[in-house]
Chain A
């Protein structure tokens, strides 16, 4: 484990998570959540849990982002700002 890489990845994970729940646009939140999933995947690979990282990359960053975008297709804007 390289602690400098750990610090950078953890910082980016926290930034992505905070941005994903504060941003107003749903599509931006989905993309930020995908970035969060990918950073978590890199963090798990760095910690040696390759199987968990593989699951996170396949499900978190791949399929669930497509699911969220498909769900956003069904929503509509309440206000026209």
Chain B
């Protein structure tokens, strides 16, 4: 398992850097439909912040802040958000992911509903990519034995 480092420089830099990385990841997810970026890239940036947390603070402390159960919930919650955005369009009588019919249930006109539909897709993709990348890294770094390897 990766032990926590006692180096004061690494710990301080990570404490400053991790919230900035997470804020940038959320920015990339939230502005994905209008500018370069999107759910996948933002999710990868968020996952990179958690990987930095594992490297700097150690696996134990990271697991205490971001538990495996929460990780599993996140990785399925994103798929849930994506799928239900699509299925709501199906239930309202249009094609899968045809967002403009969502204006029937959202307080918005069809153009604004299309915008909100794209936004919820990006959020779902971002949550799933973040959780799966973090769990992949923890699996790789401990050799599948969470907490005993390395």
B48 at the interface (CB under 8 A from A): yes
B residues with CB within 8 A of A = 28, 36-38, 40-41, 44-45, 47-48, 51, 55, 133, 136-137, 140-141, 143, 149-150
A residues with CB within 8 A of B = 50-51, 53-55, 58-59, 62-63, 66-67, 70-71, 73-74
Given contacts A50-B36, A51-B38, A59 and B140 within 8 Å (CB-CB): no
Do B140 and A58 touch across chains, with their CB atoms under 8 A apart? no
Do B48 and A62 touch across chains, with their CB atoms under 8 A apart? yes
Q: Which residues of chain B have C-beta atoms less than 8 A from A58's C-beta? A: 40-41, 44-45, 48
Do A66 and B36 touch across chains, with their CB atoms under 8 A apart? no
**Minimum Cβ distance to chain B for residue A40 (Å):** 15
Given contacts A70-B137, A70-B140, A63 and B36 within 8 Å (CB-CB): no
